[in-house]
Each structure stands twice: as C-alpha cells, then as structure tokens.
Structure 1
Amino acid sequence: MGLLQAISGLNAANTAMDIISDNISNASTIGFKSKSIVFADLTSRKNQTNKTEGMGVNILKKKSNIDTGEIFFTNRNLDLNINKNGFFRLLAENDSIYYTRNGHFHIDKKNHIVNSAGMSLTGHSIDNYYLKFGNNYSNLIPIDLSNYTKINSKPTTILKLFFRLNPHDNIKIKKEFNTQISTTYNHKLKTRIIDSFGKKRFINFYFVKTANKIWDIHPFEKNKNKKIIPFKIEFDDNGNIISDKTFKMDINSNENGKEEKILINLETILQNKSTDKKNYFSHNGYKKGTIQNYVIENNGIIYGIYSNQKKIPLSKIVLSNFTNAENLKSEGNGIFSKNEMSGIETTGTPNSLGFGKVICGGLEKSNVDLNKEFINMIIAQRNYQSNAQVIKVEEKMFNILMNLL
C-alpha cells in the first residue's frame, strides 16, 4: 500500500508551494533571499527479507539562496549594498545580534545608524582604524556619530605652494621690491590660512627673480598689512629646487600678539616653461564646521562632510560572514540570526579578503528568479496532483478488496 507514501508526497508538495509563494510575494522586497527546500526519501527495513522499502519523502531542511541580487541606485548616502560576500551586523535593543543584506539605514535620535526596525549597525570607531579584526567580533559596538555633529577649528601648521616659475622672466633689482608696485616683482600667489583662534588670515607670496635660477619669496600678511621675513630658493638646470625646500614662517596671532609658526612647503615649485599655468596652494587648517552629510567608501569607512568643506573619517563598518550562510535562520523583514547549522561567524572589513565592498547610494534587490519560481510552482502542482491520484487509486483498490470479503 502506498497511502502513507502519497500523504507524505502531498505534504512535501504543499510545503514546496508555501515556499514558492513566499518567494514570489517577496520578488520586490529589498535584500530578500529566496528560499528552497531539500527533500530526502524515507525507507523502512523488513526483518524477514532484510530489504529496504521506500516509505515516502521527508523535508530535510529549508535553506536560503545567498546569491547577490541586482543593485538599483537611489543616490541616498545611507542606502548601502554589499557586492558579493558579507552581511551587515545589527544590534537590537535587547543586545541580540542579527544580520541583513538590506542596507536601507538612517540616523536616529541618538545619532546611531539604524535600520527600519531600529537595530543599530555595528562597527569600530575610527580610533581603531588599524585594528586587525580576524575572528574577533566581541568588541564591535553600535556606530555612534553623536560626537561628530560639530568639529572645532584647526590652525594651519603646513602651507604648500604649487607654482611654476618661468626661467625666462626678467631679473628684478632686489632693493626696489614693493608690494604696491607690480613691476618690482614677477609673480604673486594669494593664499589663506586659519590661525589658532579659528580666524581666516590672508597671506600673499611675491616671487622676485634676483639672479639666474635664484628667486626671493616675500610673504606679506594682508590682514595686518605686514611684511614677513623673505626666504630664498635656488634651482638646478632642470628647474628643480636645490636649496632648502621648507621654511618656517612666523605670524602674529590676532588676539594676543603671540607668534604662530607655519611650515612653508616648496617641494612643488618648479622653474620651467610649462604649459600648465595652474598655480594654487593647500593647507591643513580649517574653521569650525557642522555636519552636512555622510559618505561611506567601499572599505566601509564613514566620512563626515562638514560645512567648512572638510571630509573627515568618523567610523568604520565591519561585515560578518558564515561558513554555511545559506542555513541562517530567517527572522522576517530581511533579518537573519545565526544557529548551529550556519557555521562559524567571521568578521572583517569591506573590500578585503572574503568580504565584498560596500557600495554607497544603492540597495540590493531581491534575488528571486520569477521564471524559476513559476517552473517550480508547476512542478509542485504536478507532484501534488500525482500524489492525490495515488490516493484515489489506493481507495479504489481498497474498495475492490472489501467487496471480495
């Protein structure tokens, strides 16, 4: 009699249809991972003949398809997706750990990065930037941006000059130099710095050619209409500096007259007749700023973009992965939890060995293949019909047997 076998087949086909229906209904769910079912046959052993007979089908396990879904871009900086391996690691309010591929995050009232369920994205503070993660994830904490809403000013300590001097310029008479008379100098570069009080200061650099391959550079502070001690540079035949390439410049503080030292870097000044006429400067100081936006790089580093145009690293996302990630337990809402079957958890930085890179400004679509699901649905339907037909035949055979009695 195949009645029990047919019933097990009905149950298996019904379970398969449930999973297929769930996959189809989540075809547009962000970060959803399609599921499948693994069947195994049931057997029995007769004592007299020592032969095995089939006893139907059993559901061995349900597993998730962890293949990466397609990406659609939202241009929102806190919409993240992982290219290839890895899961975002989340901390719930009850301190439970969960995992997801749904990277739709926002900033909550505590300035934590959280998902729609309020679970905090975890990682490391930027102070542990060079930490070797390995398999140690016990010290991962919620990413807290509350201390980075504002940044204090930083005074300029290094000022770099980028300039191209023409070797064919006329030589000027040294004693005639005057900032008010343009014929007494060859070139001028306007720069600005930040002093220790966070105030902007303007310094002009005047380039005066005093001999072949020799130039004087005269700093002049525009704020106070004050000349600063000049310095000399000398070039070789190839237009490279052969004299000192750095000088210390003293400026008076605006508040108390205290001297502030700034290192002038001249490495990028050349004497050649280059067609590149772009002359500019850079310095390491900045004014106070308030947070305007966040940018997350491929390696998981979170940068703050401030009103003073500074881009400063704040924190770092750490990803998790598992030896058998397809066996993670689905908790709904695109959230997974680990179990004994999911294997060992490892953590690491995005875009490193074993982990995909984080892409900012896009989300991962569901990886449900509708064509495949419709085919599986037809197969499950046929299996159900076939097992139902077996039951009908069994019923007819049973009736025939009963009529013989």
Structure 2
Amino acid sequence: MGLLQAISGLYTANTVMNVISDNISNASTIGFKSKSVVLTNLENNKNIINKTTGMGVNILKKKYNINSGEIFYTNRNLDLSITKNGFFRLSTDNGEIYYTRNGHFYIDKNYHIINKLGMYLTGYPIDHSSTKLENNYSKLIPINLSHFTKTMIQPTTILKFFVTLNNNHDIKINKPFDIKTATTYNHKLKTKIIDHLGKERFIYFYFIKATSKIWYVYPCEKYRQKKIIPFKIEFDKNGHVISKKTILIKIKLNKEKKEEKILLDLTNLSQKKTTNNRNYFSQNGYTEGTIQNYEIDKFGTIYGIYSNQKKIPLSKIILSHFTNSENLTYERNSIWSKNNYSGLETIGLPNSLNFGKIISGSLEKSNVDLNKELINMIIAQRNYQSNAQVIKTEEKMFNTLINL
C-alpha cells in the first residue's frame, strides 16, 4: 500500500510550493537569496530484509542560493553592493555579529553607519598618525564617523615644485635683485600656502639665472619681507637638479612674528631649452573644513568630502566570506548568522583575495529567477496532484478489499 508514501509526497510538495511562493514574493527584495528544497527518500527499516526501499519522501534541508543578484544603480553614496563573494559584517548593541548582502545603509545621529534594523556596519579606522596603512582586522568595530565632521587646520609644511625653467634666458646675476624691477630676474612664480592660523597666503619665487647651470631663487611674500635670503639650484647637462633636492625655507608673513617653515621639494624641477614650461606647485596645507559628503571606493575606503575641497580617508569597510555560505542561518530581512555548518569565516578587504569589489551608489537585486520558479511551481503542482491521485486510488483499493 502506498498511502503513507503519498501522504509524505503531499507534505513535501506543499513545502516546495511554500518555498517557491516565498521566492516569487521576494523577487524584488534587495539582497534576497532564493532557496530550494533538497529531498531524500525514506526507508522502511522493518523491510530491509525484503529489499524494500523508497518508502516515501522527506525534506533533507532547505538550501539557499548565495549567487550574486543583478546590480542596479541608485546614485546614493551609502547604497553599496558587492560583486561576487562577500557579506557585509554587521554588529548589534549586544555585540552579536550578523551578515548581509543588502547594502542599503544610513548614518544615524551618532554618526554610525547602520542598516534599517539599526545594526552597525563594521570595519576599522584609518590611523592618520601612521604613514603605513595596514589591514588591522584586530580592531574591527562599528564604523563611527563622529570624529571626522571637521578637519583641523593643516599649515603648509611641504611645497612641491613642478617647474621647467627655460635655459634660453639671459644671465642676470650682475644686476642687483629687486622684486619691483622685472629686469632683475628671469622668472616669477606664485603659489598659495596655508599659514599656522589657517589663512591663505601667497609666496612668490623669483628665479635668477647665474650661469648656464646655476640659478638663484628668492622666496618671499610680495613686498612684505625686507631681507630675502636666496637659495641656489644647480643642474647637470641634461637639466636635472644635482644640488639639494629638498630645501627648508623660513617665511615671515604679514605682521606675524612666527615664521612659517616650509620644506621645498625640487625633485620635479628641471631646466630645458623650451618655452613650454611647467609652472605649478602642490602643497599639503588646508584650512578648516566641515563634512559635506562621503564617498566609498571599490576597496571599501570611506572618504570624507569637506568644504575646504579636501578628500580624506576615514575608515575601512571589511567583508566576510564562508566556505559553506549556503549553510548560513537565515534570520530575517536578508540578515544571516553563522553556525557550525557554515564553515570557516574569512575576513578581508573588498577587491582583494576572494572578495568582490564594492560598488557605491548601487544595490543588489534578489537573485530569484522567475522563469525557473514558475517551472518549479508547475512541477510541484503536478507532484501534489499525482500524490493526491495515489490517495484516491488507495481509497478505492481499500473499499474493494473491505467489500470482498
């Protein structure tokens, strides 16, 4: 008799239909992962001697499809998606750790990056006191940007020259230098710096050709400095600097007693017989600024965009990956937790090792394949009908037996 087998078939077909319905209903849910039912046959242990197997069907497990969904763009900086492998790592107030592919984040009133359930996105802060940026996974904490709402004043300490001097200029060393007389120097350049009070200042550099390979440079703030001490630059036959490539100068600015000490980097200074000169500088100073926006790159680096036009790295987002991701425990709202069957957790930076890159301004759609689900629904429906027909047939057979 196949009554029990048919009943188990009805049960599993109904369960499969429930799973398919759930998949279809979440076809537009951000970060949703479709699932399927893995079935196994049942055995009647009492009839093993008679070689009787296949006494029905049972649900072995519900399996999740962790493959990436399609990416769509929102143009919102805190919407994040992951290509290929990886989960965003989340933390609760109690320190519980969860994982998600839904990268729809916000910044709360305390400047934490959170999801819609109030869970914190984790990472590690960037240490600006260190010249090396290392992957410090021992400091994984909820990302907090409250210390980066403003940038403090950074006075200019390094000034880099990107200048090509024209070797065709006349030698003017015999004429006394006077900043008010243009015929006493060959070339003048102007650059902006930030002083220790956070004010913008301009320094002028007057270049005087002494020989075919030697130039003198007079740095000053225009018309302000009475005594100007020049420094010498010497070039080789190819126009490359062979004298000191870094020079420390001291500039006394408007009515300020304190001198500004600035290190000049002459690495990119050259001399050629050309009129197409490079004439610009770069400097490391900036005024005080307030946060205007945030940017996140493919490596998970969060940058602050400030009102003083500075873009400063603030923190790093890290991702998690599991050897058996499909066995993670589904909690709710596209949130997962690890268990004994999900395998080893690996932590790393986006766009490195086996981790996908982060795409800011985008979200990941559900990975539900509607065409496949509709086909599976027809199969589940047919299975259900077939098992129901078995029960009807069994009923007729019972009636026949009873009426003998």
Quick check: 182-191 or 249-258, which moved more? Answer: 249-258
Alignment map for 1:127-276 (pairs within 5 Å): 127=127, 129-133=133-137, 139-222=139-222, 224=224, 226=226, 228-252=228-252, 257-273=257-273
Answer yes or no: is the 8 Å Cα contact 2:165–2:277 preserved in 1: no
Alpha-carbon distance, 1:45 to partner: 2.7
Quick check: 199-208 or 120-129, which moved more? Answer: 120-129
Answer yes or no: is the 8 Å Cα contact 2:155–2:285 preserved in 1: yes
Distance, in Å, in 1 between the alignment partners of 2:382 and 2:273 is 82
Distance, in Å, in 1 between the alignment partners of 2:229 and 2:392 is 106
AA paired with 1:232? Answer: K
Distance, in Å, in 2 between the alignment partners of 1:2 and 1:309 is 77
Distance, in Å, in 1 between the alignment partners of 2:48 and 2:23 is 46
Distance, in Å, in 1 between the alignment partners of 2:273 and 2:356 is 47
Distance, in Å, in 2 between the alignment partners of 1:116 and 1:224 is 58
Distance, in Å, in 2 between the alignment partners of 1:11 and 1:302 is 50
Distance, in Å, in 1 between the alignment partners of 2:29 and 2:48 is 55
Alpha-carbon distance, 1:210 to partner: 2.1
Q: SS where residue 264 of structure 1 aligns?
A: strand
- Supply the RMSD in Å over aligned alpha carbons: 1.9
Distance, in Å, in 2 between the alignment partners of 1:351 and 1:254 is 49
Provide the residue aligned with 1:395 in structure 2: 395
AA paired with 2:37? Answer: I
Distance, in Å, in 1 between the alignment partners of 2:24 and 2:255 is 69
Provide the residue aligned with 2:279 in structure 1: 279
Provide the residue aligned with 1:91 in structure 2: 91
Q: 1:337 to 1:263 in 2, by over 3 A?
A: same
Distance, in Å, in 1 between the alignment partners of 2:202 and 2:97 is 53
Answer yes or no: is the 8 Å Cα contact 1:218–1:231 preserved in 2: yes
Alpha-carbon distance, 1:276 to partner: 5.1
Answer yes or no: is the 8 Å Cα contact 1:145–1:314 preserved in 2: yes
| Deviations 1:366-402, CA, capped at 9 Å, x for gaps | 1111111111111111111111111111111111112
Alpha-carbon distance, 1:332 to partner: 2.0
Q: SS where residue 84 of structure 2 aligns?
A: coil
Q: 1:165 to 1:282 in 2, by over 3 A?
A: same
Provide the residue aligned with 1:12 in structure 2: 12
Alpha-carbon distance, 1:258 to partner: 2.3
Provide the residue aligned with 2:379 in structure 1: 379
Q: 1:83 to 1:200 in 2, by over 3 A?
A: same
Distance, in Å, in 2 between the alignment partners of 1:52 and 1:126 is 66
Provide the residue aligned with 2:349 in structure 1: 349
AA paired with 2:208? Answer: V
Q: 1:150 to 1:391 in 2, by over 3 A?
A: same
TM-score, normalized by length of structure 1?
A: 0.93
Answer yes or no: is the 8 Å Cα contact 2:168–2:274 preserved in 1: no
Answer yes or no: is the 8 Å Cα contact 1:219–1:227 preserved in 2: no
Alpha-carbon distance, 1:18 to partner: 1.0
TM-score, normalized by length of structure 2?
A: 0.94
Distance, in Å, in 1 between the alignment partners of 2:278 and 2:124 is 40
| Unaligned residue ranges in structure 2 (runs of 5+) | none
Provide the residue aligned with 1:56 in structure 2: 56
Distance, in Å, in 2 between the alignment partners of 1:298 and 1:71 is 14
Answer yes or no: is the 8 Å Cα contact 2:245–2:265 preserved in 1: yes
Answer yes or no: is the 8 Å Cα contact 1:300–1:318 preserved in 2: yes
| Deviations 1:172-217, CA, capped at 9 Å, x for gaps | 2443433223333222211011122212111011222222122221
Distance, in Å, in 2 between the alignment partners of 1:388 and 1:274 is 92
Q: 1:56 to 1:228 in 2, by over 3 A?
A: farther
Alpha-carbon distance, 1:50 to partner: 4.3
| Deviations 1:218-253, CA, capped at 9 Å, x for gaps | 212138355631112121121111122221110226
Distance, in Å, in 2 between the alignment partners of 1:38 and 1:101 is 24
Answer yes or no: is the 8 Å Cα contact 1:13–1:380 preserved in 2: yes
Answer yes or no: is the 8 Å Cα contact 2:194–2:201 preserved in 1: yes
| Deviations 1:315-368, CA, capped at 9 Å, x for gaps | 111111112111112222111112222122221222221222222121111111
Q: SS where residue 374 of structure 2 aligns?
A: helix
Quick check: 184-193 or 36-45, which moved more? Answer: 184-193
Q: SS where residue 267 of structure 2 aligns?
A: coil
Provide the residue aligned with 1:115 in structure 2: 115
Distance, in Å, in 2 between the alignment partners of 1:162 and 1:226 is 27
Alpha-carbon distance, 1:95 to partner: 2.8
Q: SS where residue 123 of structure 1 aligns?
A: strand
Answer yes or no: is the 8 Å Cα contact 2:179–2:223 preserved in 1: no
Alpha-carbon distance, 1:110 to partner: 0.6
Provide the residue aligned with 2:32 in structure 1: 32
Number of residues paired by the alignment? Answer: 400
| Unaligned residue ranges in structure 1 (runs of 5+) | none
Answer yes or no: is the 8 Å Cα contact 1:6–1:391 preserved in 2: yes
Q: 1:228 to 1:311 in 2, by over 3 A?
A: farther
1:306 equivalent to 2:306? Answer: yes
Q: SS where residue 206 of structure 1 aligns?
A: strand
